Structure 1
Amino acid sequence: MTACQPAGFEATWDVASAIPGWLTEDQARLLFDTAQELPERPLIVEIGSHQGKSTVVLATAARALQGRVVAVDPFVEGRLFGGVTTRTKFERNVAETGLADTVELVADYSTRARPGWTRGIDYLYIDGKHDYWTLTDDLKWAAHLPVGAPILVHDCYSSIGVTLGVLAHVLPSRRLRYERRAGSMALFRVGAPSVADRWRILQEVPWWLRNVAVKVLLRLRLRPLARRLFGHESPYDPY
């Protein structure tokens, strides 16, 4: 893939799937397809980029529309996140896919970047710190989105903090409505929700509780029990 060649999802996934990260093919397709529906020259904000797996998917779709992706990630140190090393890999992956001119990196916490943000946004992807307080703040980026704009939240129905944030702030919201999910990635849109939209969120709660139970069993090193009770084959958390 080069910077001048538009790519379909299959070609995009061939490239992105080689980048480490917690994004399934179905989730990547949801990101890509939703981005393709945007108007010309869209601005996409991605909160949480890691090594650039989802960034490459979003930026490829954005480039075809002459748009840009703002990747917000502080690249904190730690076993899961890798700090400076992960940032180096992110920048290398973006450059090697020819997308450097489409991606703008904001190497900061989303909660610090948001208060001073003044630009309009066409698409918001939230995959940052998975606690209640950060998710609550990240949802405030929606103030910069127009009606109908997509908000995608990763680990929406597998992380305790994220799900509690959605139940507390999206379920009663008058401005956000739930559309559908791919695995634990949920698609919301800016707009007045109907009773059916709210009910769909509640219908996901049993699946979320199942995922929490799987996580507990995996932490207790009871993977065979997770497989037998819930059909969870992977050694990794459900996402």
Structure 2
Amino acid sequence: MVESRPVAESGGNEGTENGVDEGFDDAFALADRIPGWLTRDQARVLWDAASALTDGAHVVEIGSHQGRSTVVLARALGRNGGRLTAIDAFVDSPRYGGASTRAVLLANLEQAGVSSIVDVVVARSRQARSRWSEPIDLLWVDGKHDYWTCTDDLRWTRHLPDGGRCLVHDAFSSIGVTSSLMLNVLPSGRLRLIGRVGSLATIEVSRPHLADRFRFLAQLPWWVRNVVIKVLLRLGLGSVTRRLGHVGPFDPY
């Protein structure tokens, strides 16, 4: 299946010539030093979405970890006077790292020169949302990938304007994220899927048409393939996953 790429809106593209944006190249060079699962093509989607916003825009990121995506968003927002609120609970566990991960994030933001643009909020998404009152211009969801957490994260879309966008990572890859999208986006009367780059889905706050629902359903075979690959990897059958076009020991993202 050919993956569709959302078309960025006009604006915020200074430094772009012949399809090359040196600002993005610099931002991704900084971000690529940071461990994480965001690919270059997915980082470009974040960059384009943030760069297309009006001056002084406010973006919310759910799930920052060490800051791979945070740096890309903040560097884009820095060109138009925007700001980023980065929300992460920094759970104290071997997987998430707790306070030590937060320290790494802050150091990475400082090294990338974006500390003044990013407000790091140490809280669970639901806690932060319960006391949130201002509008936002773009939402990036990359938090915990179970159904319940993703569903709660999608409630942040209430703070987006008509035409505002929500970008979701691990869509049509994670079972939890995909099942949440199936129940909260596919039948929705106010959210529509407009594209996908790998497992990064772009959702827009606007009334969906039938074509949007078919576009969503067209992603499901790719999701089934990814679930099969995950099962095979856990069974130690990497040689089989290669026949399905998957390279490497990590889950599809």
- TM-score calculated relative to the size of structure 1: 0.95
For residues 226 and 92 of structure 2, the distance between their equivalents in structure 1, rounded to whole angstroms, comes to: 27
For residues 148 and 65 of structure 1, the distance between their equivalents in structure 2, rounded to whole angstroms, comes to: 19
Q: Structure 1 residue 220: deviation in Å? A: 1.2
User: What does residue 234 of structure 1 align with?
Assistant: 248
1:142 alignment partner, one of 128, 151, 157: 157
2:130 alignment partner, one of 104, 115, 127: 115
Q: Does 1:83 align with 2:64?
A: no
Instruction: Among all aligned residue pairs of Structure 1 and Structure 2, give the percentage whose two residues are the same amino acid.
Output: 51
Matches within 5 A, 1:36-47: 36-47=51-62
1:90-148 CA-to-partner distances (Å, cap 9, x unmatched) read 00000111101000011111011111110110000000000100111111101111011
1:58 alignment partner, one of 37, 51, 73: 73
RMSD across aligned C-alpha pairs, in angstroms? 1.0
Q: Does 1:124 align with 2:148?
A: no
Classify the secondary structure of the residue corresponding to 1:92: helix
Q: Structure 1 residue 79: deviation in Å? A: 3.1
1:6-38 CA-to-partner distances (Å, cap 9, x unmatched) read 961111111111111110000000000111111
User: What does residue 158 of structure 1 align with?
Assistant: 173
Classify the secondary structure of the residue corresponding to 2:73: helix
What code does the residue aligned with 1:143 have? R
Matches within 5 A, 1:186-225: 186-225=201-240
User: What does residue 29 of structure 1 align with?
Assistant: 44
For residues 122 and 194 of structure 1, the distance between their equivalents in structure 2, rounded to whole angstroms, comes to: 23
Q: Structure 1 residue 219: deviation in Å? A: 1.1
Classify the secondary structure of the residue corresponding to 1:30: helix
For residues 88 and 217 of structure 1, the distance between their equivalents in structure 2, rounded to whole angstroms, comes to: 36
What code does the residue aligned with 1:154 have? H
For residues 152 and 167 of structure 2, the distance between their equivalents in structure 1, rounded to whole angstroms, comes to: 15
Gaps of at least 5 residues in structure 1 are 1-5
Runs of 4+ in structure 1 displaced over 4 angstroms? none
User: What does residue 8 of structure 1 align with?
Assistant: 23
For residues 88 and 11 of structure 1, the distance between their equivalents in structure 2, rounded to whole angstroms, comes to: 23
For residues 246 and 108 of structure 2, the distance between their equivalents in structure 1, rounded to whole angstroms, comes to: 31
Classify the secondary structure of the residue corresponding to 1:64: coil
User: What does residue 189 of structure 2 align with?
Assistant: 174
User: What does residue 83 of structure 2 align with?
Assistant: 68
Aligned residues: 233
Q: Structure 1 residue 80: deviation in Å? A: 2.8
1:46-71 CA-to-partner distances (Å, cap 9, x unmatched) read 00001000000000111111010000
For residues 39 and 53 of structure 2, the distance between their equivalents in structure 1, rounded to whole angstroms, comes to: 22
For residues 236 and 78 of structure 1, the distance between their equivalents in structure 2, rounded to whole angstroms, comes to: 21
For residues 39 and 128 of structure 1, the distance between their equivalents in structure 2, rounded to whole angstroms, comes to: 26
Q: Does 1:49 align with 2:64?
A: yes
For residues 125 and 40 of structure 1, the distance between their equivalents in structure 2, rounded to whole angstroms, comes to: 18
Classify the secondary structure of the residue corresponding to 1:8: helix
For residues 131 and 193 of structure 2, the distance between their equivalents in structure 1, rounded to whole angstroms, comes to: 28
1:18 alignment partner, one of 21, 33, 51: 33
